[in-house]
Amino acid sequence: MQAIVHSSAVVGMDALGVLVETNIALGLPAFIIVGLPDTAIQESRERVRAGIAASRLDFPLNRITVNLAPADVRKEGPCFDLAIAISVLAASGQLPPEAADKWTLVGELSLTGELRPVRGVLSIALAARAAGKEGIVVPSENAAEAAHVDNLKALPARRLRDVVDFLRGTLPIDPVEPNGTGAAPQDTPDVDFADVKGQQHVKRALEVAAAGGHNVLMIGPPGSGKTMLARRVSSVLPQLDIDESIELTRIYSVAGVLAPNAGLVRKRPFRAPHHTISQAGLAGGGSHPRPGEISLAHHGVLFLDELPEFGPGALQVLRQPLEDGSVTISRARMTLRYPARFTLLAAMNPCPCGHLGDSARPCSCSQAQICAYRQRIGGPLLDRLDIQVEVPRLAAEELTSTRSSEPSARIRDRVERARRRQRNRLRGASSCNGGMTSRQLHRWCALGAEETRFMRAAVDRLGLSARAYDRVLKVSRTIADLAGRDEIALSDLAEAIQYRCLDREQLS
């Protein structure tokens, strides 16, 4: 006897249809799974066998062959358990032959026949709808996630037995309705720029960064408020729109970090990995590839505190995503791509001891130590940090002042207005000045005669690289957008150049 059941495998961000074909023939009892399964699928044999027995169903004592097709898709993880079990039951005549045709089935089985949640269900549900399925049968913890896909029924199931009874037509299962709310898995507590005293020029730089999606490096002694300032940037970013929310939720689902029964991710991420993080943890990858921190920061902020402490490998993998907005992971037989369009915020001390230029304490580092420390970042990455800003220690009178600072809500209004101007102008993958292509740059950052002269002098004086020059133009475009100006003015260029303090210092 034969049976075919539809399931799905997540490859990168997308899900591909997988057919689970079972053939039961006479012969000595055997249970074979073919179709390039990895060890996880061999383990799934044991779970399927035990799960069927625990559900008061018969595990056939014949020669069972299960084929997962197509064979050339690398399958991983336990998400095929449910489809394999249903396929075996259908092939052994315990279910009507076409009962499962309308559905895509995914879920891990426990030895007692319960269903456990799996990763990537939102992507699987989107693929099921594209394949014309009526619905998807998933472990109940995954149902809320699948329900976000319109025109597709998301059927929650707790046990294998429930799915069998449903397919036999003896147990109705109601589709789950989408719920609207859900928070980012790594939630930042409510923070506001109003808490930060002084540091006007740093706040201004962060406002420009938020408005144009520019990357920032903050340099200052310990305790000067770098971490505090970085954490507040998410509070001035505009709301996620629905497409961005769905894309982020897919990433979190594929990464396996979405909470059970969670709704869509609604808040812009703020990810702050420690400098000991591995390259795969940061960029994504591993033996069962998953998105890394840079993809979890998609549409939000990636904060790298103590930047020079990150390994050289980790800093190098940042370069491609900073240009392309995505990361490519190469494997022997496939190449995966994860989205990774984030705003990079980085912080560092000015020197190893942290007190170079500090009004409160003298620096104890040698010139060679300072150079070696800064060189750890490397020119190519430094070029991509559009805004470099010094964060000095607060003077006593500022620290003790009781004057209140501007709240984040007011800054966010200005950021949103500037973003609207950019959206109307730029269409495509990135609607921020920070992500302009060179053609867009050419078109939208044309300078007048006087401005061109000014920039020529600046390039000569500062020795700006071609990439740094482009970045200055993009930042000045954002500064003009914040002011509501169509043309880039001299003052916009001057402010943008002033944000390259490391370039300036390396000169002296």
Ligand X SMILES: Nc1ncnc2c1ncn2[C@@H]1O[C@H](COP(=O)(O)OP(=O)(O)O)[C@@H](O)[C@H]1O
Which residues make up the interface to Mg ion (CB under 5 A)?
A: 227
Query: For Mg ion, which is the closer residue by CB, 227 or 278?
Result: 227
Q: Is 352 in the site for ligand X (CB under 6 A)?
A: no
Query: For ligand X, which is the closer residue by CB, 335 or 404?
Result: 404
Round to the nearest angstrom and report the end-to-end CA distance of the chain. 81
Pairing of the two strands 63-69 and 14-25: antiparallel
Query: In the range 198-217, which residues lie near ligand X by CB under 6 A?
Result: 198-199
Query: For ligand X, which is the closer residue by CB, 185 or 198?
Result: 198
**Residue 179 neighbours by CB distance under 10 Å:** 13
Token pair 């943008």 in the structure block, residue: 496
Work out how close the CB of 120 gets to Mg ion at its nearest, in angstroms, rounded to a whole number: 35
Query: For Mg ion, which is the closer residue by CB, 120 or 225?
Result: 225
Which of 102, 116, 158, 197 forms a contact with ligand X (CB under 6 A)?
Answer: 197
Query: For ligand X, which is the closer residue by CB, 48 or 346?
Result: 346
Burial class (CB in 10 A: 0-12, 13-18, 19+), 21: middle
Q: Residues near 212 by Cβ (< 8 Å), separated by ≥ 6?
A: 418, 422, 432, 433, 434, 474, 475, 477, 478, 481
Query: In the range 77-106, which residues lie near ligand X by CB under 6 A?
Result: none
Tell me how far apart the alpha carbons of residues 1 and 90 are, in angstroms, rounded to a whole number: 9
Work out how close the CB of 394 gets to ligand X at its nearest, in angstroms, rounded to a whole number: 5
Work out how close the CB of 231 gets to Mg ion at its nearest, in angstroms, rounded to a whole number: 10
Work out how close the CB of 441 gets to ligand X at its nearest, in angstroms, rounded to a whole number: 33
Residues 105 and 7 sit within 8 Å (Cβ to Cβ): yes
Which of 156, 220, 284, 321 forms a contact with ligand X (CB under 6 A)?
Answer: 220
Tell me how far apart the alpha carbons of residues 186 and 395 are, in angstroms, rounded to a whole number: 34
Which of 83, 294, 394, 455 forms a contact with ligand X (CB under 6 A)?
Answer: 394
Work out how close the CB of 364 gets to ligand X at its nearest, in angstroms, rounded to a whole number: 18
225 binds, among Mg ion, ligand X, none (CB under 5 to 8 A by kind): ligand X
349 binds, among ligand X, Mg ion, none (CB under 5 to 8 A by kind): none
Pairing of the two strands 270-271 and 290-291: unpaired
Q: Which amino acid is at 420?
A: R
User: Taking the mean position of all CA atoms in its chain, how far away is CA 171?
Assistant: 39
23: left (phi over 0), alpha (psi -120 to 50) or beta: beta
Tell me how far apart the alpha carbons of residues 203 and 225 are, in angstroms, rounded to a whole number: 11
Query: In the range 458-497, which residues lie near ligand X by CB under 6 A?
Result: none
Stretch near ligand X under the rule CB under 6 A, chosen from 39-47, 196-204, 296-304, 308-316: 196-204
Q: What token pair was written down for 395?
A: 């003077």
| SS3 (DSSP) at 280 | helix
Stretch near ligand X under the rule CB under 6 A, chosen from 29-37, 195-203, 277-285, 470-478: 195-203
Query: For ligand X, which is the closer residue by CB, 21 or 195?
Result: 195
Cis omega before residue 70 (within 30°)? yes
224 binds, among Mg ion, ligand X, none (CB under 5 to 8 A by kind): ligand X
Query: For ligand X, which is the closer residue by CB, 393 or 500?
Result: 393
In sign, the C-alpha dihedral spanning 66, 126, 299, 477 is positive
Work out how close the CB of 309 gets to Mg ion at its nearest, in angstroms, rounded to a whole number: 11
- Taking CB under 6 A as the rule, which mask of x and - marks residues 225-254 in contact with ligand X? xxxx--------------------------
Query: For ligand X, which is the closer residue by CB, 292 or 350?
Result: 350
Q: Residues near 219 by Cβ (< 8 Å), separated by ≥ 6?
A: 347, 348, 349, 350, 388, 389, 390, 391, 501, 502
245 binds, among ligand X, Mg ion, none (CB under 5 to 8 A by kind): none
Site residues for ligand X per CB under 6 A: 196-199, 220, 222-228, 394
